[in-house]
Chains A and B, each alone.
Chain A
Amino acid sequence: MPILEVNNIRKSFGSTEVLKDISFSMEEGQAVSIIGSSGSGKTTLLRCLNFLETPDAGTITVRGEKLFDTADAAGRSDARIAENRLHFGLVFQQFNLFPQYTALQNVMLAPQLAAQKAKIPDDGSILAKARRLLDEMGLSDRMNNYPHQLSGGQQQRVAIARALALSPDILCFDEPTSALDPELTGEVLKVIRALADNNTTMIIVTHEMSFARDVSDKVIFMDQGVIAEQGTPAEIFGDPKEERTKRFLASYTRGAM
């Protein structure tokens, strides 16, 4: 059974149709990269999966459980949506750390609130997990720093630890290195690569083509609101079938030079 099935997602903003009938699926432990030019709908698709946007039509199914179905209005309640969101984690382009909390507090806040709500007593496991995650991100000496005391790359790694703290089924990245200085992208890509090596199920929207090629099991190329082509990295980068995929990739190799 695929871990995620997305079927016939549509989304318009006003009269602009941003997503036109998007369908794809992925297996547990896969890393899927979504590439495409700006305005192709990549970010909107990711935001639909995290319920930051409500699709106009379509279904989202995780492990066989239908999380979203336009036919089911009851699924739109705030409580249900908050619950559904826990299947996904999202790492933002702009990090969006909470400035008044330390790195460690940023990672612990949501699990603590969830534990309070479920009336689970604090046995120190939330703290232990937050420490372990920050450690894995190479931030053991930065746990008590506030976001403004961290570099962009460090902030983004804290954001990744924060997203992992709730053990989402699928971790999504929205251009995780686009807001970073070039010398800082490497450290963030390294931890994402390590996650992929550990078979973390991930969807990565990115402009880093060589990274997408190395790290993903599957690449989706989006163009003007549709999935123009999908396949293995070897198929998409090595032998693209569609004319527009070829054009996009060609513009990229030129631009990268």
Chain B
Amino acid sequence: MFVSVTLSLLQGFWGTFKLFSLTLVFALPLGLLISLGSMSRLRVVSYPLKFLIWVIRGTPLLLQLLIFYYGPGILFGTNIWGSGDAGRFIAALVSFVINYACYFSEIYRGGIQSIPVGQYEAGYVLGMSKGEIFRKVVLLQVIKRIVPPMANEIITLVKDTSLARVIAVYEIIWNGQKFIKSEGIIWPLFYTGVFYLVFSGLLTVLFDRLEKKLDYFR
């Protein structure tokens, strides 16, 4: 029994892991774009993005999942996500990417704005272009500063993936819960916690290493 439960949960965890990693792949760069846009001097760019960040951070992710999945169908009368598991997964992924990109964008913004203006000026007087200053001078300092808050947010994402089951996306909790109905046992559901713990433990070690690696300068 234990082995078959473990195998089933591992299968469910694959769904969790897919949602987690694909969210990061898209949300990390998108967050940077939103962040740069929200700091733009052009108000037509910055105001809508600030509005988006407000709406996304101001409402529950659970609700966003439902609206993203069912909203288009209600508005246009057709399910734009396609049918079946794949369609639901894509809808969940889009919701997660937008949600997390908004949170990441605020972390990026904090990091970028915390760099002293003297760093830019030192680059300028050495004849460097804006892009060179960003890539060669500012970027690594920003990364150093945002590693701790990013680690926090990314570990939250591991657990937030469980929300996707509200639109019936298979992930580990879904697989744990099905044993209540089929076998009348609840411990597999509790057992899922071990998977989350091990995975977030691994991430913690990874981020600690990264932090140490960037410890050589201040």
Contact = CB atoms under 8 A, between A and B. Distances in A.
B129 interface: yes
A110 B140 contact: no
B198 interface: no
Contacts of B119: 96, 98
Nearest to A114: B127
A92 interface: yes
A110 B124 CA distance: 10
A113 B217 contact: no
A100 interface: yes
Interface stretch (B27-35, B43-51, B84-92, B130-138): B130-138
Interface residues of B, number: 22
Contacts of A92: 118, 121-122
A39 B110 CA distance: 31
A78 B118 contact: no
A109 B129 CA distance: 13
Contacts of A99: 141, 217-218
A222 to B, nearest CB: 21
A131 interface: no
Contacts of B121: 52, 92, 96
Interface string B111-129: 0000010110111111111
Contacts of B132: 113
Majority SS at the chain B contact face: helix
Interface in A156-211: 162-163, 166
Contacts of B116: 94, 96
Interface in A61-117: 78-79, 82-83, 85-86, 88-90, 92, 94, 96-101, 109-110, 113-114
Contacts of A85: 124-127
23 contacts: A50-B125, A51-B124, A52-B121, A52-B124, A78-B129, A79-B129, A82-B127, A82-B128, A90-B125, A94-B118, A98-B137, A100-B140, A109-B126, A109-B136, A109-B137, A110-B126, A110-B128, A146-B216, A146-B217, A147-B217, A147-B218, A163-B125, A166-B126
Given A98-B122, A147-B217, 7 more contacts: A52-B124, A52-B125, A100-B141, A100-B216, A109-B137, A146-B218, A163-B126
Interface of A: 50-52, 78-79, 82-83, 85-86, 88-90, 92, 94, 96-101, 109-110, 113-114, 146-148, 162-163, 166
A-B complex: 5 closest residue pairs judged by Cβ atoms: A110-B126, A96-B122, A96-B118, A148-B218, A90-B125
